[in-house]
Amino acid sequence: MKKYFFAFIFAFASAAAFSRANSVSIQIIQNNPGQEKVWVTSQLFEQSVINFYFDAGRIVSNSPIYISSNDSDKNRKALRAALIENNDGGMDYLVRIELFYRNSNSSVPDIPKLANVEKVEWKVYNVGTGIELSSGSKKPGKINSSNDNEIGIERFAYAVAKDVTSSIDED
């Protein structure tokens, strides 16, 4: 019996030593020209992506939602700051997800509406090197009264996170 106990302890310790969950930091970028306020749709999208990674057993963190600027130098500085912040925090990957809002349809910033989102683009960076590992985009698809709400935003965010995860797992 004692022999099995020590074998179990050794196997458990070995598995713990060789297994490591990838840590992922999420930063949502709100691209909604003329808006200076973070919209509820952006906040809900961010929380849904964080939940996806947490539920998948990953170590997850987030940087504050960034409101995109027309100034590309300002956007580069924000990326650099996020990479430094996450490197200092020991994170493996930075996932920047940019939500592009429909200018003509975007309304009511305090109500979660999937119809406000035209598309999403993402980039995955290795935090240690700052190198972009992958990128992609996705559109919400057909929007109707049954998915133009919190549930629709959550499902879309999960679909995006699933696509992003495949590129992280390939690395």
DSSP state, 36?
A: -
β-pair type (66-67, 93-101)? unpaired
What pLDDT score was predicted for residue 4?
59
Calpha distance 78→82 (Å, rounded):
6
Ranges 1-10, 64-73, 104-113, most confident: 64-73
DSSP symbol at 171: -
Q: Model pTM?
A: 0.84
Question: What are the structural domains, with CATH classification, of the chain?
Answer: 21-170 (3.40.50)
Sorting pLDDT into bands at 50, 70 and 90, what band is 71?
A: confident
3-class secondary-structure state, position 167: helix
